[in-house]
Amino acid sequence: MTTPDCSQNFLPLASQIAIVTGAGRGIGAAVSHRLAALGATVVLTSRTAGQLEELAEAIRAAGGKAEAHALDLRSEESITALMQALKERHGRVDILVNNAGIGSLGHPLHEMDPGAWNDLMATNLRGPYLMIRAFAPMMIAARRGHILNIASLAGHNPLKNGAAYAASKWGLNGLTYSVAEELRDYGVRVSAIAPGSVNTSFGHTEDGSWKIQPEDIAAAVELIVTQADSSFISEIKVRPLQKKKS
């Protein structure tokens, strides 16, 4: 097998197209703002189109480039339509941030409805697979690209009363590491960012001042997409500096 030549794959961020799933709030919104500030054209996606347009307007008001696309990660047809639209409009996708996720916390697995299990796995694990399946070929053709999967420390440790969520993140880690080996010869780097408790509305109602902030995850994304072409960051684990306040 001949290894493709990936030594001339530098492309300024100002020329790059970045997709962020679950962009409407929390980590997704922070990552979108950061990528736009770096110069990328950010494709904002989520199920809620109105929220996305507000974010796109805020990014453009700050001098960035953004466009909003409603997307249902549970639908192969929705993802295919997005891929075709971006291929026609831009001809390339350089960065894919698989951020969207849902959780089912607070109950043991044997009490979980199978429909809730299917919905969680469709969003957290099947969704990233479908996105990679849709957009990796464009990156392979360009001989460069970044795929970043927002995983979780729950993908490394047991999570009582959150078994389904943990299973989806353990699966996402396995997917990330394995796809990284499949795509690295084409100059496409696949990385995981595994946060601990993040100060978002996801599954939490208590004071979150002690937690990781969404901007901290955006900083990790920046580190990955700006690394030298000679290096490859496989995973970044992000933990709160402080312990949970009692």
Flag whether pLDDT at 14 surpasses 60: yes
Query: With contact defined as beta carbons under 8 Å apart, do 218 and 34 qualify?
Result: yes
Q: What are phi and psi of 19, to 5 degrees?
A: -105, 135
Q: By C-alpha distance, which of 36, 37, 108, 123 is closest to 78?
A: 123
pLDDT at residue 69 in the model:
95
Overall average pLDDT of the 225-241 stretch: 92
**86: confidence class by pLDDT, cuts 50, 70, 90:** very high
CA distance 147 to 166: 21
Query: pLDDT tens for residues 88-107?
Result: 999 999 999 999 999 888 89
What would you report as the CA-atom Rg of the chain, rounded to the nearest whole angstrom? 17
pLDDT at residue 245 in the model:
64
Query: With contact defined as beta carbons under 8 Å apart, do 53 and 26 qualify?
Result: no
**206: confidence class by pLDDT, cuts 50, 70, 90:** low
CA distance 230 to 246: 45
pLDDT at residue 31 in the model:
97
Flag whether pLDDT at 218 surpasses 80: yes
Overall average pLDDT of the 62-79 stretch: 96
- Average pLDDT value for the chain: 90
Cβ neighbors of 21 (< 8 A, separation 6 or more) are 28, 45, 46, 71, 73, 97, 98, 99, 100, 127, 131
**229: confidence class by pLDDT, cuts 50, 70, 90:** confident
pLDDT at residue 243 in the model:
74
Cβ neighbors of 99 (< 8 A, separation 6 or more) are 20, 21, 22, 23, 27, 28, 31, 150
Q: Could you tell me the sign of the dihedral formed by the alpha carbons of 239, 190, 184, 224, in that order?
A: negative
Show which residues are catalytic. 165
Q: Which residues of 71-103 are buried (b: 16+ CB within 10 A; e: fewer)?
A: bbbbeeebbebbbeebeeeeebbbbbbbbbbbb
pLDDT at residue 13 in the model:
87
Flag whether pLDDT at 27 surpasses 80: yes
3 state DSSP class of 61: helix
What ranges do the domains of the chain cover? 16-238
Q: What are the residues facing 96 on neighbouring strands?
A: 19, 147
Flag whether pLDDT at 178 surpasses 60: yes
- % the chain with pLDDT above 70: 91
Query: pLDDT tens for residues 153-163?
Result: 888 988 899 99
CATH number given to 16-238: 3.40.50.720
Flag whether pLDDT at 246 surpasses 80: no
